[in-house]
Amino acid sequence: MASETAEAAPTILDVVARRMCVGCGACAVRTGGAVPVTIGRRGYYEADPQGADRATLAAACRVCPFANESPDEDEVASEVFASTLPVDGRVGRYLGTYAGRLADDDAVYRSSSGGLTSWFLAELLSRGEVDRVIHVGPTSSGPRLFEYRVASTAEELLASRKSAYYSTTFADVVRGLRGDGRRYAMVGVPCFVQAMRLLTREDETLRDQVRFLVGIVCGHMKASGFAESLAWQQGVAPEDLAKVDFRIKSPHDASAKRYRFGAWGTGADSPVAQMPGRLVGGQWGHAAFQLNACNFCDDVYAETADVVFGDAWLPRHEADPRGMNVVITRTDAADRILRAGATAGRVRLEDVTVDELAQAQAGNYRHRREGLAVRLADDIAEGAWVPRKRVEPGYRVSRRRLRLVRERRRLAELSFTLFEEAKVAGDLRVYVDRMRPLVRRHDRISRPLSRRLRSRATAEAWRLVRSIRGVGR
């Protein structure tokens, strides 16, 4: 009895109490639903470990990507990938490092970035490497707009390309397929991939079934308020919102970054669309509706995925409206499939360096490494529980960055409360009018006056050059 009371409390309780649960569903799968994962008022999935006994909680902790009882990404990667692979602290282990896109422009425009993620998953099916793919796509009917589901054909999979910046869980889908004798691939953001690795470590049945893990780079996950607030600002109220497309692209766009967010009201044939950065909370850096779990993640390139795809935010690729992927392969099998696509002329692939991969995600590293160190140090100073991370707590940033890290955290938190109030009041202004000054303050810190004047002068100069050349008439 004495040793039982001396035992440390299961940290999944802290993870949930501190709202650091990302809702992946690994705990629900591992415990056969004894730790359920449900959608909360704030529009994202969270585990509910309250009713579970000690043994159940211990099992849940071992598969939770944010609990201290589970191994971190370095440990897991060292178990699953060849020890001969080079390692870099920023991207983890790597075999091939590329930038690339599909050769078929039509398909690229129907994808978020270079289209390689859905192409790769479809290849796994077509080549018979797996029987099914666990992926995320739009729901056919509400109230949620996106969900994890299972595709059995390439056509089915390719019908739902594009990123869902929207909270989902794999709990039900994976519980449903466990033990069905089929082979699966799964796509997920880094913490979901890590969660699935943790599950397969503990569960022999799933280990046998899950043959490929495909990662997508993640800046942070969004609650449903992100889609709802952007749609509402364009006249589609949350109760009328039937469908969204986070990344509408066109050959006429000035760059890959100038995609639009589209929203369909019930029964609408076409969307209302706007560049997200022009809407309150639409700029990624403002962190509106960012899950708090993402404040405590240090994995940018899904370090435990067999292959990972992201956006090639590199100067030489950004200007192309089609979009371009960055890619890291970590297994021979994944590398071979990608290279075969290039040899067959279906994929355009070029080698990039690890430095370029890091450069393509520079903002992401500021958030997940420097910013994480600050958030950990802040919370420790307040006496709050923090998860064990691969980043040392500390203030190794400029004063401006320190203010920015704290401001973003505040903005994210306030976006939830203000939007909830707006929905209760049935008045979008409750959200927009109170978010706007906070966003402005964030931007003043992010881009001080001198920098803003400099970029305004550069923009003016470009406008002048364009008018002399007669462009844009």
Map tokens 């870099």 to a residue.
88
Q: Is residue 349 a contact residue for ligand FAD (CB under 6 A)? A: no
Map tokens 């903002």 to a residue.
363
Phi-psi category of 128—alpha, beta or left, where left has phi over 0 and alpha has psi -120 to 50?
left
Q: Is residue 165 a contact residue for ligand FAD (CB under 6 A)? A: yes
Q: Is residue 311 a contact residue for ligand FAD (CB under 6 A)? A: yes
For the bound state, the minimum distance from the C-beta of residue 161 to ligand FAD, rounded and expressed in Å, comes to 4
Paired tokens of 98: 């590329």
One of 162, 409, 423, 442 touching ligand FAD (CB under 6 A): 162
One of 61, 130, 217, 412 touching ligand FAD (CB under 6 A): 217
For the bound state, the minimum distance from the C-beta of residue 171 to ligand FAD, rounded and expressed in Å, comes to 14
Q: Is residue 299 a contact residue for ligand FAD (CB under 6 A)? A: no
How many amino acids of this chain bind ligand FAD (CB under 6 A)? 32
Q: In which element (H, E) is residue 148 found? A: strand 146-151
Phi, psi of 400 (to 5 degrees): -65, -45
**Residue 280: CA atoms inside 13 Å, Cβ hemisphere, count?**
24
CA distance 386 to 11: 10
Contact between residue 260 and residue 274 where contact means Cβ atoms under 8 Å apart:
yes
Q: Is residue 325 a contact residue for ligand FAD (CB under 6 A)? A: yes
Q: Is residue 116 a contact residue for ligand FAD (CB under 6 A)? A: yes
For the bound state, the minimum distance from the C-beta of residue 193 to ligand FAD, rounded and expressed in Å, comes to 9
Q: Is residue 219 a contact residue for ligand FAD (CB under 6 A)? A: yes
CA distance 182 to 203: 15
Strand order in the sheet with 272-274: 241-248, 260-265, 272-274
Stretch that binds ligand FAD, among 64-72, 158-166, 196-204, 436-444 (CB under 6 A): 158-166
Cα-Cα end-to-end distance for the chain: 81
Hey, what amino acid is at 301? Y
Paired tokens of 447: 């881009």
Q: Is residue 111 a contact residue for ligand FAD (CB under 6 A)? A: yes
For the bound state, the minimum distance from the C-beta of residue 222 to ligand FAD, rounded and expressed in Å, comes to 6
Q: Is residue 309 a contact residue for ligand FAD (CB under 6 A)? A: yes
3-state secondary structure 40-58: CCCCCEEECCCCCCHHHHH
Contact between residue 155 and residue 386 where contact means Cβ atoms under 8 Å apart:
no
Residues numbered 173 to 192 that lie near ligand FAD (CB under 6 A) are 187-189
Site map (CB under 6 A) of ligand FAD, residues 126-145, x = contact: ---------xxx--------
**How is residue 9 annotated by DSSP?**
P
Q: Is residue 221 a contact residue for ligand FAD (CB under 6 A)? A: yes
**How is residue 366 annotated by DSSP?**
I
Q: Is residue 115 a contact residue for ligand FAD (CB under 6 A)? A: yes
Stretch that binds ligand FAD, among 2-10, 40-48, 111-119, 442-450 (CB under 6 A): 111-119
Q: Is residue 92 a contact residue for ligand FAD (CB under 6 A)? A: no
For the bound state, the minimum distance from the C-beta of residue 3 to ligand FAD, rounded and expressed in Å, comes to 41
CA distance 119 to 123: 6
Nearer to ligand FAD, 257 or 406 (CB): 257
Chain residues binding ligand FAD by CB under 6 A are 111-118, 121, 135-137, 161-165, 168, 187-189, 216-219, 221, 309-311, 325, 361, 364
